[in-house]
A and B are shown apart, each in its own frame.
Chain A
């Protein structure tokens, strides 16, 4: 199993961001070239790709506020 981390986009400790869009649903197959999410911190966007392939399970809903560096999905 591998974890998908909310990327560190701000130098501030404990900075929070949001999941703007999940482009996949739990149970979908993914690869390292699959765009799985768009996230934002202070209106700056970033795309998220998984490090490994497998079947994804989403842990955080869209529009939820998340501390950067936290786990937002797992891949098995």
Chain B
């Protein structure tokens, strides 16, 4: 007997997406938007709890959980010892037994010690049980560089997580998407890796882009997982990007608009599922594709985005390039770190090259 093939292709989004509400006027930072999303789900669902290193009185080292322990107490906001393998494994066990844990891995860079729990257990139990066991867990983790924290505290690594089947992966760039994606992640019956760049949180001690503060609805809502968003429309060049690089790309697009160069910016928001339709739709308009990604260039997201176009419609592309982190450890020294990060200057040069103007000096 032959099993019926799924009718929907893999890694695409179904038709019944949540509707994203109007943003309103009340403004929050991305950090506060995440806190609000978690708190609202904890109020309505007793099975939701938070666990991780310094998520209690400290509020998360990048302020993802500030204020939660004051409202919900130490039985639902649990500070753990420094053993990622133990507490992520505990989260998986709780999820299997019907809880909805939100577990923080302090830095994505720390995945090394606990990856067996993440990708052999959290990601695969649903498959290995023949679909009988669900793992409704959120693994949230801080990513990214730009503040001289060294090679083992500055990586994004979302391509690494997205490469492994069994986990949804979301990467918000702003407060609205952070709240909506966190709400969707907690409600999801699948394991979701929620990766937030420290530079989009709106923290006072980081360089703060104004896009880290934005209007956020007060009520709970979902941003659909797997749906990209055109955050600026344009006709000349498509920039496909995510997270902090969205801020830089929008800044460059605004600057170049004054010269008559029209840049479209697509914020992926989710990596798994990847909204390949949105990528192809944008390149259909412009023909020119630049992928801006703070992750390492080779074997990752940027190549996957380009392949999404090349496999479906290779004739669309008149230009393609990447602005990524070269395949080197991220330097500690600020000048060297900013020489490898996908800075606005590098993005601007890539757009000018795509327009045939050569690399700006």
Give the complex CA separation of A45 and B10 in angstroms.
45
**Is A21's CB under 8 angstroms from B26's CB?**
no
**Is A34's CB under 8 angstroms from B204's CB?**
no
Query: Chain A residue with minimal CB distance to B67?
Result: A47
Could you name 7 residue pairs across A and B whose Cβ atoms are closer than 8 Å? A21-B202, A23-B213, A24-B27, A28-B25, A35-B26, A35-B27, A38-B204
Binary CB contact string for chain B from 1 to 41 against chain A (1 if under 8 A, 0 otherwise): 00000000000000000000000011111001000000000
Q: Which residues of B contact A (CB under 8 A)?
A: 25-29, 32, 202, 204-205, 208, 213
In terms of DSSP, what is the predominant structure of the interface of chain B? loop
Query: Chain B residue with minimal CB distance to A25?
Result: B27
Instruction: Report how many residues on chain A are interfacial, defined by Cβ distance under 8 Å.
Output: 12
Q: Which residues on A sit within 8 Å (CB–CB) of B208? A: 21
Q: Which residues on A sit within 8 Å (CB–CB) of B205? A: 43
**Is A18's CB under 8 angstroms from B28's CB?**
no
Binary CB contact string for chain A from 18 to 51 against chain B (1 if under 8 A, 0 otherwise): 1011011000100000110010100101000000
**Is A35's CB under 8 angstroms from B204's CB?**
no
Q: Which residues of A contact B (CB under 8 A)?
A: 18, 20-21, 23-24, 28, 34-35, 38, 40, 43, 45
Q: Which residues on B sit within 8 Å (CB–CB) of A45? A: 204
**Is B28's CB under 8 angstroms from A23's CB?**
yes
Give the complex CA separation of A28 and B24 in angstroms.
13
Q: Which residues on B sit within 8 Å (CB–CB) of A24? A: 27
* Residue in B27, B32, B213 whose Cβ sees the most chain A Cβ within 10 Å: B27
Q: Which residues on A sit within 8 Å (CB–CB) of B213? A: 21, 23
Assuming A23-B28, A23-B29, what are 4 further A-B pairs, CB within 8 angstroms? A23-B27, A23-B213, A28-B25, A34-B26
Q: Which residues on B sit within 8 Å (CB–CB) of A43? A: 205
Query: Chain A residue with minimal CB distance to B25?
Result: A28
How distant is A36 from chain B, measured CB to nearest CB, in Å? 10
Query: Chain B residue with minimal CB distance to A20?
Result: B204
Query: Chain A residue with minimal CB distance to B204?
Result: A20
Q: Which residues on A sit within 8 Å (CB–CB) of B202? A: 21
Give the complex CA separation of A73 and B156 in angstroms.
39
Q: Which residues on B sit within 8 Å (CB–CB) of A40? A: 204
Q: Which residues on A sit within 8 Å (CB–CB) of B26? A: 34-35
Q: Which residues on A sit within 8 Å (CB–CB) of B32? A: 35
Q: Which residues on B sit within 8 Å (CB–CB) of A21? A: 29, 202, 204, 208, 213
Give the complex CA separation of A38 and B29 in angstroms.
10
How distant is B48 from chain A, measured CB to nearest CB, in Å? 23
Give the complex CA separation of A43 and B29 in angstroms.
17
Give the complex CA separation of A20 and B27 in angstroms.
14
Give the complex CA separation of A45 and B205 in angstroms.
11
Q: Which 5 A-B residue pairings sit nearest by Cβ, starting from the closest?
A: A20-B204, A23-B27, A40-B204, A21-B213, A21-B202
Q: Which residues on B sit within 8 Å (CB–CB) of A35? A: 26-28, 32
